């Protein structure tokens, strides 16, 4: 009897000591370092208010919600990766085709020679194919002007972070 109990205990301990058993629960250091910093609604509102008009009247939360439609193809993070679309961090004010060097822009985008100021972004996000005919952004567009303003403001704020 006592022998069986001891054997069972030994087996249980051996199972606990399986190599790698605990390591699985430890997040790799890279994942810890990449933890996203959280900003308060007050900090977001202050960042919006500091933008040039008309972005200074935007709604950050709505911009973040609208950006959900872009996330399948874009990130807007410092050192973020290009996906189906280029990383949008810092895109405002750059020239078409020049913002994300590692990204394979369409010839139409490379040759468009436009500056991504508010007015151009606003038109592009309304109807991408009208502004860059033959471009590769397969997105139908945002009809609501407030949604366009808010998502551009969201990109502007996130580009400062
Ligand atoms: C289905 C994928 C897809 C979706 C969804 C999408 N995009 Fe794009 N976007 C692209 C691609 C691809 C390009 C590059 C187009 C080209 O080279 O012609 C691009 C280009 C851009 C550019 C120009 C970037 C630069 O580096 O010059 C901006 C700005 C942009 N997208 C904003 C947005 C926003 C904002 C949304 C959401 C409202 C959005 N996109 C949704 C795929 C997408």
pLDDT at position 87:
97
Q: How far is the CA of 43 from the centre of ligand 1 (A)?
A: 27
| pLDDT confidence band for 9 (50 / 70 / 90) | very low
Protein residue with least CA distance to atom 34, ligand 1: 70
Contact present, 149 and 58 (Cβ < 8 Å): yes
User: Around Cβ 10, how many Cβ atoms within 10 Å?
Assistant: 10
Contact present, 55 and 156 (Cβ < 8 Å): yes
pLDDT at position 35:
59
Q: How far is the CA of 33 from the centre of ligand 1 (A)?
A: 28
Q: Does the C-beta of 96 come closer than 6 Å to ligand 1? A: yes
Q: How far is the CA of 158 from the centre of ligand 1 (A)?
A: 16
What is the tens place of the pLDDT at every residue in 104-145? 999 999 999 999 999 999 999 999 999 999 999 999 999 999
Could you give the maximum distance between any two Cα atoms of the chain, in Å? 85
Residues in the chain: 161
28-34 mean pLDDT: 50
pLDDT at position 34:
54
Q: How far is the CA of 74 from the centre of ligand 1 (A)?
A: 7
77-111: burial string, b at 16+ Cβ within 10 Å, e else: eeeeebeebbbbbbbbeeebbebbeeeebeebbee
31-35, 40-44, 47-51, 141-145 — which is least confidently predicted? 31-35
Contact present, 47 and 64 (Cβ < 8 Å): no
What is the tens place of the pLDDT at every residue in 59-102? 999 999 999 999 999 999 999 999 999 999 999 999 999 999 89
């Amino acid at each position: 009897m006592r022998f069986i109990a001891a054997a069972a205990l030994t087996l249980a301990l051996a199972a606990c000591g399986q190599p790698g058993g605990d390591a699985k629960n430890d997040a790799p250091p890279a994942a810890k370092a990449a933890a996203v910093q959280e900003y308060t609604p007050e900090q977001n509102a202050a960042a919006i208010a500091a933008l040039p008009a008309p972005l200074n009247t935007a709604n950050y939360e709505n911009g973040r919600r609208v950006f959900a439609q872009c996330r399948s193809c874009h990130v807007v993070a410092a050192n973020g990766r290009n996906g189906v679309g280029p990383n949008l961090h810092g895109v405002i004010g750059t020239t078409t085709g020049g913002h994300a060097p590692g990204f394979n822009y369409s010839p139409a985008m490379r040759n468009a020679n436009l500056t991504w100021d508010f007015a151009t972004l606003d038109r592009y996000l309304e109807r991408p194919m009208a502004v860059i005919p033959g471009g590769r952004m397969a997105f139908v567009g945002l009809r609501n002007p407030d949604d366009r303003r808010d998502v551009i403001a969201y990109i502007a704020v996130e580009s400062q972070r």
